[in-house]
Chains A and B, each alone.
Chain A
């Protein structure tokens, strides 16, 4: 296609022709000759008759847990005979990605049937899903009169939250799946913890005979272990951290990290895990098993952004848990508990028989306040949060996670699992 410049030259030629005719001055008209010759020669020599480019760009690695440099490898291949002397390559990058090595916009030339390979390097841009591209190649003649443009569709770079190695909380939901796992099922079966005694029957493993109990009962007794099974878990991440601007980001990132770590651990233990993002941006992944599912969850968490929720968290939790989880399964809510209406939602879930647990990243106290009013506002929010915590502790297991303490330490102390008051 013609460039804007070609149109301008063409307009100039037309103006010169009209002027020459109007003034009856053939010298003015003769000025069209160089322009016409330029168009003709640029068409003839400037570009091969057909431009065939093959474009490729790859993000390495395309999935990252952060903390490493990322590169984009660009390859452009000229598949026709004839040099392309004026090729402009542009990799469109999000604002957060600033190349530290190489450049996203480069001009080059590609020899006949040859190729050009370029790379761009940049540091980890932080958690998020980034659109890399599209890669655009603009091929022009030396005077830039003709343009052939080729595009390669965008790639996605996902910088996911790194799941921490943690010790899991002792979950005790009433709903258990048929497959072996780590959650005590309160029925005899394969497991590691003692459950009960029963009489020996032919075929039982002799190593399981309890000799002391056998002596007391004057017949052979067998140790039964408690079966350990898997369950269905829904993790709800409350991304509404609207609280105190300097602390918001930290509070939010702690929540995302916790969601990633707990998901990863529960999936490794064989449970079906689903995730709900509740906040300004919403996202739902239904409960599933496996490594691929873990990637999907981490991909969703990579895109999480803080912001106030349009729909109340309590409504979302109760509605979606009932839609997506079997009755009496486990719900884990990760929330800073700055919205008191959560209490009602959790109460409804508990009444419906769901096992509920709340992990609450505690908002850190700001080092200083700008004004007395700000100080007062902070104390009021904290007081309200304390009331919410008090109400929730009567319904479900609530664990506060202060800043600076490892998540593993906090979760390993979670023991109480049955609600004391339901209504």
Chain B
């Protein structure tokens, strides 16, 4: 499952997969956003833990591109499920009302859902593509991770760059 070594989850890969899938589906059907989000977060945690486990257990590492794709897909699914649940919650409030005000609100809500899913899909695909490009560029540079000081400096530089990107265009508003 997800390229995670079976020993990493005590040989319970199938039950764990079933439990996560069931939680996600139940969360979506019953409109329990916490349950659905928990399933997604568990999946992300498993993904990361699986990768760490391959390192600890000295098993062959998964394909990096595949790992990134799984990571992005999980984030996308988690965010998309939150959007659908928000839509569902608000649509339920308007459901059964046949007046003009409610009809306009429903139309706006449907437009929002479409726009959100489209926007998330676009950002998700672009994120994956950019990650791959960065990965390839990173591969060309060929810095060894065993050079701890150099790696630490790189990490700091990266965090700085990330912070710059975060605040460059969107200054916090009061």
Residues in A lying within 8 Å of B, measured CB to CB: 1-2, 6, 10, 12-14, 16-17, 19-21, 23-34, 36-47, 49, 71, 83, 85-87, 100-103, 105-109, 116-121, 141-144, 146, 148-149
Contacts and interface: CB of A to CB of B under 8 A. Distances in A.
Contacts of B165: 36, 39-40, 43
10 contacts: A24-B145, A31-B71, A34-B71, A37-B126, A101-B97, A101-B101, A102-B102, A107-B108, A107-B109, A149-B173
Contacts of A49: 169
A121 to B, nearest CB: 5
Looking at chain B's contact residues, is the secondary structure mostly helix, strand, loop, or mixed?
helix
A125 to B, nearest CB: 17
Contact of A86 (B94, B112, B130, B131): B112
A33 B101 contact: no
Contacts, number: 182
B42 interface: no
Interface of B: 44, 48, 51-52, 55, 61-62, 64, 67-68, 71-72, 75, 79, 86-87, 90, 93-94, 97, 99-102, 104-105, 108-109, 111-112, 115-116, 119-120, 122-123, 126-128, 130-131, 134-135, 138, 145-146, 148, 151-152, 155, 158-159, 162, 165-166, 168-170, 172-173
Given A102-B105, A118-B108, A34 B145 contact: no
Contacts of B99: 100-102, 121
B38 to A, nearest CB: 14
B64 to A, nearest CB: 6
Contacts of B105: 102-103, 106, 118
A28 B51 contact: yes
Contact of B94 (A44, A47, A103, A108): A103
Contacts of A34: 68, 71-72, 75, 127-128, 131
B52 A28 contact: yes
A120 B99 CA distance: 11
Nearest to A19: B52
Contact of A33 (B44, B61, B134, B146): B134
B48 A28 contact: yes
A148 B152 CA distance: 34
Contact of B172 (A1, A12, A108, A143): A1
B100 A143 contact: no
A37 B64 contact: no
Contacts of B108: 106-109, 116, 118
Contacts of B172: 1-2
Nearest to B161: A36
Contact of B166 (A2, A27, A32, A121): A2
Contacts of A117: 104
Contact of B120 (A12, A37, A83, A143): A143
A190 B15 CA distance: 100
Given A43-B165, A118-B108, A1 B173 contact: yes
B83 to A, nearest CB: 8
Sorted nearest first, the 8 A-B pairs with minimum C-beta distance are A142-B119, A102-B101, A101-B101, A37-B130, A1-B172, A108-B108, A33-B131, A101-B99
Contacts of A108: 108-109, 111-112
Contact of A142 (B68, B123, B138): B123
Most B C-beta atoms less than 10 A away, residue of A21, A101, A141, A149 = A101
A120 B87 CA distance: 18
B127 A86 contact: no
B51 A101 contact: no
Contacts of B100: 101, 119
Nearest to A44: B169
Nearest to B162: A36
Contacts of A14: 159
Contacts of B120: 142-143
A27 B112 contact: no
Contacts of B152: 21
